[in-house]
Amino acid sequence: MTAELSPIDTAKSIAAKYAVQFVEDGMSVGLGTGSTSAWMVKYLGERVREEGLNIVGVPTSRRTAALAQGAGLRVSTLDEVKWLDVTIDGTDEYDADLTLIKGGGGALLHEKLVASASDRMIVIADQSKSVAHLGAFPLPIEVIPFGLQTTRATVEAMLDGMDVLGWEAVVRMIDDTPFVTDEGNHIIDLHLKRIGDPRHLALALNQVPGVVENGLFIDICDMVVLGHGDGRIEVTDLTDGTLKEVQVETGQDANIFADL
């Protein structure tokens, strides 16, 4: 079964297809998690099959590992590879400084570890992810199970002194059970509405006992490939300070999520 792509899925797919062109033979590649990253895995698999690329992928979640293996990619672990040439991942929000909010898919800890161990991080996104100020999307933090409600209350109290517009901390649930990450931890989503000082907030959050990591990616992303439903792509590259726009053929790729 196939289905035509919506404008959002078109934007995601063309951004992913453009981004994988930066992968070269012999590279080690961090593979992000989420719907946009699924397109990236698909197109990277196509390049491996059609061009015979010899690459190794380091998935950031069990879900991505399964997708990568299904696409014919050779996968490994961060401990085995140690350092990566590039990581390609999606985002929940990004601002003009390419500061990100990530973790909507629950893999923020692995995603941050992999991206931080890469020479370059390329983010693929649709237009809805570009914001003037971070915070409309809830900021996820990963916390250990022990003392979950105490950690939540401590974080909520700490937020009262931060440059944010909201202070609600909500434990992410799956039905009646707290969501569990690949590391066996839980996620607390912070509904902040607007984050005035992401760097200060990130440092403060990681000082709270019980917090493992937060979903603010600061000084990690090097490039954003932003797709549009009409086939336009905007590329922002912090490395050389450039912003360029290209037009690509949207093609007739099937919606890979049609049967999900």
Query: Which residues are marked as active site?
Result: 111
Helices (H), the chain: 7-19, 35-51, 62-70, 78-81, 108-116, 148-159, 198-205
User: Dmax over Cα atoms in the chain, in whole Å?
Assistant: 54
How far is 54 from 72, CA to CA, in rounded Å? 11
112 Cβ neighbours under 8 A, 6+ residues apart:
102, 213, 217, 220
Q: Do 143 and 188 contact (CB within 8 A), yes or no? A: yes
Q: What is the Cβ-side half-sphere exposure of residue 109, based on CA atoms within 13 angstroms?
A: 19
The residue written with tokens 């902040």 in the block is: 192
Of 133, 134, 139, the C-alpha closest to 191 is 139
Cβ atoms within 10 Å, residue 200: 12
Alpha-carbon distance of 249 to 72, in angstroms, equals 25
